[in-house]
Structure 1
């Protein structure tokens, strides 16, 4: 059971890094540092959106409309941190 917890923690860490890359890339696109017309930027951007949109969608439906501010990545990071904490605190029960 300990191996399963380690795998879940690894998956949480990967999702956290993907969310962080998406947020940083959205800032860089928003400030015109990156151009979505470049093929590599477009491929990375659409790939990140395809991975994260199924996760962001339910969060966006629950959150109130904040205008142009999207808080769903922040909420997802908090959820990932909570899951990580729950797994780490309860791990000794499974050994």
Structure 2
């Protein structure tokens, strides 16, 4: 029971991060002013996703205006979810 809880928790965490990164990508396409009603949500999404995207961004080579770190993070989270599912199934 305890080991399944760990697997379930890791799966939920990876899923939340996955959707947080997707939300961050979508919100980056929208101009959000400092007094916008979206600003609190944007701050939350950035605070949750930056600990994952920041280190990936530092490792990846600079490619100009396009940031590949969300793509790499989504792939890594998919791998983590797959591994967790196989280990804790």
TM range (shorter): 0.7 to 0.9
Are residue 16 (structure 1) and residue 18 (structure 2) matched?
A: yes
| Greater alpha carbon shift after TM alignment, 74-83 vs 42-51 | 42-51
Structure 1 segment 1-95 matched on structure 2, within 5 A: 1-29=3-31, 35-92=32-89
Segments of structure 2 that go 5 or more residues without pairing to the other structure are none
TM (norm. structure 2) is 0.85
**Structure 1 runs (4+) greater than 4 angstroms displaced:** none
Give the equivalent residue in structure 2 for 1:32: none
Q: d(CA) in 2 for partners of 1:3 and 1:44?
A: 29
The 3-state SS of whatever aligns with 2:38 is: helix
Q: CA deviation at 1:88?
A: 1.1
Segments of structure 1 that go 5 or more residues without pairing to the other structure are 30-34
CA RMSD of aligned residues (A): 1.5
Q: CA deviation at 1:6?
A: 0.8
The count of aligned residue pairs is 87
TM (norm. structure 1) is 0.81
